[in-house]
Structure 1
Amino acid sequence: MQTVSLSLFRFDGLSSRLWALAMMGAARLSLPRIDGLSFWKLCGSGTGEGFTPVPNTAVYAILCVWDDLHTARTALQTQNVFARYRARAAEDWTVFLNPISSRGEWANETPFVPQDDSGAGPIAALTRATLKPSIAMKFWGQVPDISAVIGSDPNVIFKIGIGEVPLLHQVTFSIWPDTASMANFARKDGPHAKAIAAVRDGQWFREELYARFRIAGETGSWDGQSPRILKEVQR
């Protein structure tokens, strides 16, 4: 069963942050050599929980697509590149995901293979887009309002904005307790709905991908909470 891992790393201090920035290039040499890894992306983040075009030099992410959950867990624990990240990071957290729906492409690939959905438990949403340079400023001008709406929603368990290239490549990732909560947010009339309408009317994206996942597990901590998702869902 295909498994996707999203690993987040938080770095303190100038030397660790410079190391993480350098790994945006250096890690590209190691990741293609890992067995069972079919797709990967190295991402930075923005300030304000990632939903701004201003880079956050403290937080970086690695997204990987694996043959199965066992391969994912084993590689993240044993492969040197991930061990080096953990050794430098002040905090790290990985969530394991099983794709249940996906449409669109990422760098001209279709990395996620949807599987049967159990229909139970928390659900994650990932959107990824390549912005047209001519509308980048207009797009980012709407993002703060969208971020505020997500942040005020009592149902969202986790959210972050990351990306491969500042301004032009953006990825949003969020986790919800169930499908209904996520759907209710998407249907609300507000900044999020208006932004979606603007994207459709103006054809802002050169490439886009929308995917949904069920949570398969997690390891580590984020903001001092571990395991965050299971604690939130069990309340």
Structure 2
Amino acid sequence: MPAPVRSAINTVSLSLFRFASLPARLWVFGQMGAARLSFMRMPEVGFWKLCGSGTGEGFTPKPNTAVWAILATWPDAATARRVIDAAPVFKRWRKHSAENWTILLEPTSARGQWSGRAPFTATDAPNTGPIVALTRATMRASTFLRFWRRVPDISAAIGQDPNVIFKIGIGEVPLLHQITFSIWPDAASMAHFARGDGPHGRAIQAVRAEGWFSEELYARFRILDDWGTWGGIRPLAVKDAA
């Protein structure tokens, strides 16, 4: 039976969960298989991924067994809020986590593919506030060692950048898949980090010159809403207080 045709995706959610105890971490590890069944039976969701995270600033190949993420797409913000609040799978993850934070986003630009699909439908809505950047890449097995040798410098640079509001590195498969998620106060500060004469800018040049990735996705978003806490605070409170 063919899959149902879904409407254009205008809302993206990223939910982060922190699991403090060993039993909770073992539980969520098992959810990497069990939770898939819940999302496969969820008619409202479009594209979705269950992800782990990296240690330190998040952009490292060493996994952080305490932090996990659910990324999902929805036809609209109201549907996203309703399902994230009421769906049993999200309730279970919140119950077992020590802390969680969800951010709702609207794509403003997107190019490339993720698992052979274009998951985000960009809108023409203007974005005069903070900019969210998401990059996702599948590394070629022949080049991933070169990529990961550069990551500590990139991680240190983004961690020291005074402009970045929030950052985390997540991914589906260690070493071969990497997702970077960051929030910036404006396009200029984001572009300066991404393309300037620093570790990230030089890595981008190497990516292009040496063909590191077999699949790439670059997307930008505006923020619609957020709730919960991360690190004991609401991450966007820094923006609101500025």
State the TM-score, normalizing by the size of structure 1. 0.97
* 2:211 corresponds to 1:203: yes
What is the aligned partner in structure 1 of residue 236 from structure 2? 229
Asked whether the 8 Å contact 1:122–1:233 carries over to 2, the reply is no
* Aligned AA (2:204): I
> 1:215 maps to which residue?
223
**Identity among equivalent pairs (%):** 60
What amino acid is the match of 2:174?
Answer: P
Q: Kindly indicate which of the two structures has a greater share of residues assigned to strand.
A: 1
Partner of 1:167: 175
The corresponding residue for 2:16 is: 8
Q: In structure 2, what is the Cα distance between the partners aligned to 1:233 and 1:149?
A: 24
Which of 94, 97, 107 aligns to 2:102? It is 94
Number of the residue aligned with 1:179: 187
Cα distance in 2, alignment partners of residues 151 and 186 from structure 1 = 13
Distance 2:181 2:97 in 1: 21
Q: 1:28 aligns with which of 30, 36, 39?
A: 36
Partner letter of residue 146 of structure 2?
K
Cα deviation for residue 134 of structure 1 reads: 1.4
Measure, in 2, the Cα distance between the counterparts of 1:225 and 1:180. Answer: 26
Residue of structure 1 aligned with 2:45, choices 37, 48, 53:
37
The equivalent residue for 2:6 is none
Structure 1 unmatched ranges of 5 or more: none
* Alpha-carbon distance in 2 for matches of 1:221, 1:48: 19
- For residues 41 and 117 of structure 2, what CA distance do their matches in structure 1 show? 19
How many equivalent residue pairs?
234
| Segment of structure 1 superposing worse, 151-160 or 32-41 | 32-41
* Gap runs ≥5 in structure 2: 1-8
**TM-score, normalised with respect to structure 2:** 0.94
Aligned partner of 1:136: which letter? Answer: F
Offset at 1:147?
Answer: 1.0
Select the residue among 84, 107, 131 that pairs with 2:92. Answer: 84
Q: CA deviation at 1:50?
A: 1.6
Shift of 1:24: 0.7
Task: Let me know the Cα RMSD of the aligned residues.
Answer: 1.1
Distance 1:49 1:150 in 2: 8
Aligned to 1:127: 135
